[in-house]
Chains A and B, each alone.
Chain A
Amino acid sequence: MQARIHVTLKNGVLDPQGKAIHHALAGLGFAGVEDVRQGKYLELELADQDRAAAEQQLRQMCEQLLANTVIESYAIELDGEAVA
């Protein structure tokens, strides 16, 4: 099973790196970019198992380590399907 996890800054949390990337894009002549937010993307290969158990485990991984939920949110995809 393959999981894909996106970790992004919550709304309202300042993102100075996103801002710097935004400026660099403007400097390269890419007009019309209104905002840039930087996040992280992780791919996990999981041993085959019950889907519900895998989802539960992935949520725990995000809560305990992969995201800092004070400032970050996470979105999980398992075998191409979003996990609620």
Chain B
Amino acid sequence: MTAAIIVFPGSNCDRDTAVALEAASGRAPRLIWHRETALPKVDLIVIPGGFAYGDYLRAGAIAAHSPIMREVVARAHAGVPTLGICNGFQVLTETGLLPGVLTRNASLRFVCRDVHLRVEQTDSVFTCKYRPDQVLRIPVAHMDGNYIADDTTLQELEDHGQIALRYCDADGAATAEANPNGAQRNIAGLFNRRRNVLGLMPHPERAADPHHGGTDGRALFAGLVEMIAA
């Protein structure tokens, strides 16, 4: 599997993501600077976490209009698996590849800790190695993770199985107490309709090695490698 990781001024999870992808696939991903206008032929595109452009204006707003993003959007529309993690999720909503918007955490605090997540949808290249309703423990680290969409959009997301992960407690119950940021319907991860684009607030690359204190994120990368090789 060949992968490209898009790097913006202010990205800070690009290297961690590269390490996790290389461990899963045996191939180092290409790091692509945001000023580039062409993408090599790759099997996977990742928009990593960080604070692209310092979150000026809105998180992800300026990055979404970087030169490389025109090509990223075109590839995603053509079906190339595209993963946005944390700030990458915010960038994907700002490009319109994913619906809704990620706003300031309801607590107004930066939240940086492990959360529990319930796997809602396993029929995708990203989540195929997980079991339905499996409870994962993966860290989040963000200021703007409060997912908002209108009721019609939320219903469509439910009806089309586009919700990938929900915040939950250790037993898998998606309660208000288990929601770290106020996100509607406890949404932690979201697919586009075709499920080739995934936005995640949690950081699977930070739970991909026993030294991280958990490995629940590893199956996401392993699943991608397996599905793309198949």
Contact = CB atoms under 8 A, between A and B. Distances in A.
Contact of A71 (B65, B106, B148): B148
Nearest to B150: A70
A54 interface: no
A63 B206 CA distance: 35
Nearest to B149: A70
Contacts of A65: 57, 61-62, 65
B145 to A, nearest CB: 13
Interface in B73-96: 94
B154 to A, nearest CB: 12
Nearest to B107: A16
A14 interface: yes
Interface residues of B, number: 19
Interface in B144-200: 148-150, 182
A14 B106 contact: yes
A70 B101 CA distance: 7
B108 A20 contact: yes
A13 B108 CA distance: 15
A68 interface: yes
Contacts of B99: 70
Given A17-B104, A68-B94, 20 more contacts: A13-B103, A14-B106, A14-B182, A16-B105, A16-B106, A16-B107, A16-B108, A16-B182, A17-B108, A40-B57, A64-B65, A65-B62, A66-B57, A68-B58, A68-B101, A70-B99, A70-B101, A70-B148, A71-B103, A71-B148
